[in-house]
A and B are shown apart, each in its own frame.
Chain A
Amino acid sequence: MAYTWDVFLLAAFFGFAYGFLLQKADFCFVASIRDWISVRDTRILNGVLVLIAVALIGWAVVLATGARTVADVWTVPLGGANLLGGILFGIGMTIAGGCGSGTLYRCGMGYVQFWIVLACSIAGNLLFALLYDPWGRDALEPLTVVESGYTLYSLPVPVYAIPVAIVLMMAAIAIWRFGFRGFAAGFRSALTDWEGNPFKQSHWDIRLVAALIGIVATVQFALMSNVSITGPETRIGAVAVSLFAGDDFVFNNTYLNALFADFPKIGLGPEETLVFFLIIGSLAAALLSGSFKLRWPKKSRLPYAIIGGLLMGVSSRIAPGCNIANVITGIGGLSISSVIVLVGMIIGIFIVVAFVFKMPLLLFRRDDSFGA
């Protein structure tokens, strides 16, 4: 399939929008879970839940209007690899300090640490591809339960039934927790959190940003593709290596070859363009608000960046997919494997918070004491 320039333009627009929005809210998927279990701060988790709710409704609308069909929904083989990949990705992103999307937008903000994480993550992608051919495939094969994956949209109920039911349930829980007034006040404060020029403001309300990201992802699903990050990153890595090693590097590897199956040649496509423009969008947002700064990490943190990045790279191929693909397109598409990946990620985050960083675990503590 040959791509035309308008698809690249569209991809650049979507990437720019994601990067801009993610930076504006410091949208961090690691923090959404980490801060909740560690210090019971649910500010970012609420943002992720809003994103999930908007994606669910968005996908339902796209499918109900017939702009896309259930066959276009992103599904991957269902099985143990989802859980294994999810756990390893959760460990990797918490050690590295940023998830698939967090790493990219922080690259745009000038964090040198995340440039290293990104490079190591892409190296991890390629490492997986090199291991896949001789024995990785055989090792992961027995874990597969359903080869074709499964989305709840395949059930014989109206397409809007399940997503609407889930979102109503989420709204009911929110109202039960905050009360009707609190729920309404949340909407109001999300929409009115402005101090002068929004573009110069360094922080936008995370719930508003989450809703906007969900809408952008929905439009992307309707017009172009399912948003993903780590698949395109693997291709970027493969293209980079093929510049030195020749295209045979890709053709001789089963895994990479399959990744480029739809491509006219070994090169960068629209989704890779999206990833580059995500970084540019974040850079633009950071420059506007004065948040851009070249930030050099302490030497002692480099092992975290390298190990975390490599782990994310390998595990995002096992799962497959990173937080963005699984939270937005996976949950939005009601894909069962994504639910398993996310459970794995939460387990992974918990393992690192509790045993590597040894942070407080207030979520599990009933008394007010603080120590140890």
Chain B
Amino acid sequence: MSLTERELLELKPDHVVDAIGEVCPHTLNLALDKLKKAKPGEIVVEVTDHSIATKTIPAAVKMNKIGEFLGVAKKGGEYHIFVKKL
């Protein structure tokens, strides 16, 4: 499923991960930690300025089937990465 940036930013996330200034692998680990704690159906968004996280997080959640990647919205040099816990 892919939503437009606007649709993504209108979502009400249940958990927000602040990963500004973080780099790999912390950007991924923080997202996975939060996803583990989230309940199924909840939306986790990670806010980061590390562009590579926009590739690693979707790949990781797809591989370990912990969540559904909803999309990335770019806002003022920051990436908001949306994942729905499965």
A31 touches B24 (CB 8 A): yes
A290 touches B77 (CB 8 A): yes
Selected from A31, A39, A359, the residue in CB contact (under 8 A) with B52 is A31
A295 touches B56 (CB 8 A): no
B7-24 with Cβ < 8 A to chain A: 20-24
B60 contacts the other chain (CB 8 A): yes
B4 contacts the other chain (CB 8 A): no
A34 contacts the other chain (CB 8 A): yes
Residues of B within 8 A of A357 (CB): 25, 29
B20 to chain A, nearest CB (A): 8
Contacts A34-B25, A38-B25, A298-B21 given; does A293 touch B49 at CB 8 Å: yes
A297-341 with Cβ < 8 A to chain B: 297-298, 301
B2 contacts the other chain (CB 8 A): no
Contacts A43-B59, A97-B24, A97-B25 given; does A370 touch B64 at CB 8 Å: yes
Selected from B23, B28, B49, B77, the residue in CB contact (under 8 A) with A98 is B23
A360 contacts the other chain (CB 8 A): yes
For the complex, give the distance between the alpha carbons of A291 and B36 in Å.
30
Selected from B21, B24, B60, the residue in CB contact (under 8 A) with A28 is B24
A–B Cβ pairs within 8 angstroms, 28 of them: A30-B24, A31-B24, A35-B60, A38-B25, A39-B28, A39-B59, A39-B64, A43-B55, A43-B59, A94-B25, A97-B25, A97-B26, A98-B23, A106-B23, A113-B23, A203-B55, A293-B49, A293-B77, A295-B20, A295-B21, A295-B49, A301-B22, A353-B25, A357-B29, A359-B28, A360-B64, A362-B63, A368-B65
Instruction: Please give the residue numbers on chain B whose beta carbons come within 8 Å of chain A beta carbons, in ascending order.
Output: 20-26, 28-29, 32, 36, 49-52, 55-56, 59-60, 63-66, 77
Instruction: Please give the residue numbers on chain A whose beta carbons come within 8 Å of chain B beta carbons, in ascending order.
Output: 26, 28, 30-31, 34-35, 38-41, 43, 94, 97-98, 106, 111, 113, 202-203, 290-291, 293, 295-298, 301, 353, 357, 359-360, 362, 368, 370-371
